[in-house]
Structure 1
Amino acid sequence: MTHISDSMHNLMMFYKDKSCLVTGGFGFVGGHVVDFLLKSGAVVHALDIDTSPERQCLINLKGLRDKINVITADITDQNTMEDVVKETKCSIIFHFAAAATVVEKAMDIPYATVMANTMGLVNILEAARKSDGSIYSILFSSTDKVYGEATELPYVENVTPLRAIGLYDATKMAADVLARSYAEVFGVNVVTARLCNLIGPYDFNIDFRLLPKSMKNIYCQGQPPELYFHSLDHWRDYLYIDDAVRAMLLLAKEKKCHGEIYNMSACHFASTPTMIKEVVNKTVEIERRFNGKIAQQILEQGAKIVMGDAKHIVIEKQHLSGDKIKDAIGFVPEISFDEGLEKTILFYRQYFQDFKQGATEE
């Protein structure tokens, strides 16, 4: 076996037979964590406020419902969350649940965003505090947006100030700070992962996130992907979902990481216009294998610049240092941006093809 295979095998063996609670399990990141845990032989409890069989998500589309304990619950309900932690006898918690996972949604539901993104985590931390040490670790999914607009890049943990201003950003920053507080004051074994932009299959934030929305425009509507005018000067980090999942499971596993904060290092740092161009070019390259006429149409359409909502406070440049996580667990991205982008585009190509076929049959 290769070194990578050995390390992955060891990681899977660690999670074998462990009781793991995944909040937001029916979402993009949570679903991929559920999938990996099942492959590792873990006992998986997937909690979400919407667990309907009709929901478009990894758990439903890959037929995993019967292999997990599905829990329908609201993370803002403290008593419910304490009961869930007790009844599942979980030893590891992966916390991804949130009222809004994109800036635009948060602006529409500010109070719900504050309650879910901040108090939702507090309810998890409180349940762990009262568990008499039965919780081995909690992995809290934070974001690079907690840093806000920085004068120097890359962002470095415990060096770069937290300057979040936007509503979504501020709620995650508050939760981020509270996680550290519970670790320091109460000894709760929580590790915080500040994520960058993740790409991969089964991300159904199709109306908001850049890549899924671009795929919807191209494959579902036959339209060019849209680039917001205010994002022309934006720069972002990108990482493929499988690498992010591996990193988070390693962080939750290693005791030396508990109580710490880690940036999730990326495989690609690019301006938003460059990202859109790469998406179009890769889509054309892939489509030429199937339909040269459609590939040419995608190429000729290019991308469309549109006006966005000026009320959204958006950070211009975001870039994470990956030195700390590399030193702690040896994490570096293994899947290149090009490979990850191809896997993602192929998924959405098939997904929207099936979607249109189903709509036609109805």
Structure 2
Amino acid sequence: MSRTALVTGAAGFIGFHLARRLLADGWRVVGLDALTDYYDPALKRRRLARLEETAGYAHVTDRIEAPGVLADLMAEHAPEAVLHLAAQAGVRYSLEAPRSYLESNIAGTFELLEAARAHPPAHLLIASTSSVYGANTAMPYAETDRADHQMSFYAASKKATEAMAHSYAHLFGLPVTLFRFFTVYGPWGRPDMALFKFVAAMLEGRPIEVYNRGEMMRDFTYVDDLVEAVARLIPAVPGAQPVCETDSLSPVAPWRVVNIGNAQPVRLGDFIAAVEAALGRPAERTLLPMQPGDVPATWADVTLLDALTGPRRATPLAEGVQAFVDWYLSEYRAGDAGPR
């Protein structure tokens, strides 16, 4: 019989790609997503339609923070792996609507942990973010670095979920791995992400907004590379012994955090140049100051990831940007915000 995985946020950007990968690997996937209106729900519905075309996928539309929803799903389906991608995303939006981060990221993760306590999976895997490194300036970021000075409520909510998960791992023996994602991009990305906004603006003849006057560096990570890493981490259940000197394995719980990045920071100007090359047109830039809560650079140390999963996929930036542009042109009319 097929193994069962529960994927929260299955109609979201990363959750969609992960659910598709698990289905391709022969898993039975139960997806949970509330299809909220943080961005155009039509994009989420188009992702979901792709998933529902695939045998072995079952979907539930509900909120993770609704009491009992996750517990009922885990009692009914007894998933071997639970992959928690559902969250309120976005650094800038957390300045406008912090309560949604409290409800989705903290209360939602609490409901997940309570469900896992009652119906333990073989491995609980939870999405975190590179934003938890906050004000750290020493790079590349290693999982064993202190991460105590978050710069946004989004980052603070994710750091809180790491601590909450550790307490449950310690108290109830739940094996937990948390991923710190670094600037994920690729087809089916969210409209609030830089690449989507750049491509939409350039095709419509509008200037792109460039924060910190372009003096930014990001460890851009192609979504297929990230999903490959997550899939390989499912059997890497935290055990009793560290796998390398920088292993973040807890001394008192089956718990660790793992960076998933490309380990190659890219200047924002070079990223924009890749977009210009893919579209075959120049970008007009509006230079803006740094946004509150943002950081000037990110860079992942992936020593631990490599030790756990072996050699990583590393899609070249130009190839990944071109894949997004090709997808965008197939889904949206140039100069029109609506889908084909």
TM-score exceeds 0.5: yes
> Structure 1 residue 342 and structure 2 residue 313: aligned?
no
What is the alpha-carbon distance in structure 2 between the residues aligned to residue 165 and residue 354 of structure 1? 36
> Structure 1 residue 353 and structure 2 residue 333: aligned?
yes
Look up the match of 1:130: 118
Instruction: Please identify the structure whose Cα radius of gyration is greater.
Output: 1
SS in 2 for 1:106: helix
Which shows bigger deviation, 240-249 or 260-269? Answer: 260-269
Look up the match of 2:224: 242
Taking the TM superposition and a 5 Å limit, the aligned residue runs for 1:216-235 are 216-219=200-203, 221-228=204-211, 230=212, 232-235=214-217
SS in 1 for 2:210: strand
- The alpha carbon displacement at 1:137 in A equals 0.9
| Aligned-partner residue type, residue 115 of structure 1 | E
RMSD: 2.5
SS in 1 for 2:332: helix
Look up the match of 2:310: 330
Which shows bigger deviation, 58-67 or 102-111? Answer: 58-67
Taking the TM superposition and a 5 Å limit, the aligned residue runs for 1:109-120 are 109-120=97-108
- The alpha carbon displacement at 1:231 in A equals 5.1
Contact 2:216 2:297 in 1 (8 A): yes
Taking the TM superposition and a 5 Å limit, the aligned residue runs for 1:29-40 are 29-40=14-25
> Structure 1 residue 154 and structure 2 residue 140: aligned?
yes
Taking the TM superposition and a 5 Å limit, the aligned residue runs for 1:1-362 are 17-50=2-35, 55-57=42-44, 59-60=47-48, 62=50, 64=52, 67=55, 68-99=57-88, 101-131=89-119, 133=120, 135-203=121-189, 205-206=190-191, 208-219=192-203, 221-228=204-211, 230=212, 232-256=214-238, 259-266=255-262, 268-284=264-280, 298-299=281-282, 302-307=283-288, 310=291, 312-353=292-333, 356=336
What is the alpha-carbon distance in structure 2 between the residues aligned to residue 231 and residue 45 of structure 1? 43
Contact 1:276 1:303 in 2 (8 A): no
Residues 1:186 and 1:359: Cα distance change in structure 2 (over 3 Å): closer
Contact 1:199 1:240 in 2 (8 A): yes
What is the alpha-carbon distance in structure 1 between the residues aligned to residue 54 and residue 330 of structure 2? 24
- The alpha carbon displacement at 1:159 in A equals 2.5
Residues 1:121 and 1:218: Cα distance change in structure 2 (over 3 Å): same
Residues 1:130 and 1:200: Cα distance change in structure 2 (over 3 Å): same
Residues 1:342 and 1:122: Cα distance change in structure 2 (over 3 Å): same
Look up the match of 1:289: none
Query: What do residues 295-345 of structure 1 show as CA deviations (whole Å, max 9, x unaligned)?
Result: xxx22xx231243685x2211221110111111221423322222122111
Contact 2:263 2:300 in 1 (8 A): no
Contact 2:94 2:101 in 1 (8 A): yes
What is the alpha-carbon distance in structure 1 between the residues aligned to residue 337 and residue 225 of structure 2? 32
Higher helix share: 1
SS in 2 for 1:353: coil
| Aligned-partner residue type, residue 60 of structure 2 | I
Segments of structure 2 that go 5 or more residues without pairing to the other structure are 240-253
SS in 1 for 2:230: helix
Query: What do residues 75-101 of structure 1 show as CA deviations (whole Å, max 9, x unaligned)?
Result: 1123222112112222211101112x1
What is the alpha-carbon distance in structure 2 between the residues aligned to residue 339 and residue 321 of structure 1? 23
What is the alpha-carbon distance in structure 1 between the residues aligned to residue 170 and residue 334 of structure 2? 50
What is the alpha-carbon distance in structure 1 between the residues aligned to residue 230 and residue 325 of structure 2? 24
Structure 1 ranges of 4+ moved more than 4 A? 51-54, 354-360
- The alpha carbon displacement at 1:178 in A equals 1.5
Contact 1:148 1:165 in 2 (8 A): yes
Contact 1:20 1:44 in 2 (8 A): yes
Residues 1:281 and 1:181: Cα distance change in structure 2 (over 3 Å): same
Query: What do residues 243-292 of structure 1 show as CA deviations (whole Å, max 9, x unaligned)?
Result: 100111111222247621111131641122332222212321xxxxxxxx
| Aligned-partner residue type, residue 330 of structure 2 | Q
Contact 1:267 1:337 in 2 (8 A): no
Contact 1:59 1:65 in 2 (8 A): no
- The alpha carbon displacement at 1:54 in A equals 6.5
SS in 1 for 2:68: helix
Contact 2:92 2:293 in 1 (8 A): no
Residues 1:359 and 1:238: Cα distance change in structure 2 (over 3 Å): closer
